[in-house]
Amino acid sequence: MKVRYSVQNIHCQKCVNTILNSLSDEFDGIEILLDKEPKEIVVELTAEQEQKFKDEMNDIGYPIIQELERS
């Protein structure tokens, strides 16, 4: 399922690159929306991956604020 979250601390393309380099091997379809405020991330996750994704985002300095949508 695709899940969209609002995220703290994403400011620029360097932040996007950090997230993609750190997580794209493990999580599919990561898209970061820099035109939103706060910034948003869309990612394809299974139910089993959700908490791990949130934990890893927090570990690299980009905590999830809230879930916005799932489809």
Q: d(Cα 34, Cα 71) in Å, to the nearest integer?
A: 21
Cis peptide before 38 (omega within 30 of 0): yes
Tokens linked to 33: 């929306």
* Total domain count, the chain: 1
What pLDDT is stored for residue 35 in this prediction? 95
The answer to whether the CB of 17 falls within 8 A of the CB of 34 is no
Q: Cβ–Cβ contacts within 10 Å for residue 10, how many? A: 23
What residues make up the domain containing 32? 2-70
Q: Give pLDDT tens digits for 13-70.
A: 999 999 999 999 999 999 999 999 999 999 999 999 999 999 999 999 999 999 999 9
Q: Which among 51, 54, 57 has a CA at the least distance from the CA of 9?
A: 57
pTM for this structure?
A: 0.94
What pLDDT is stored for residue 66 in this prediction? 97
CATH of the domain at 62: 3.30.70.100
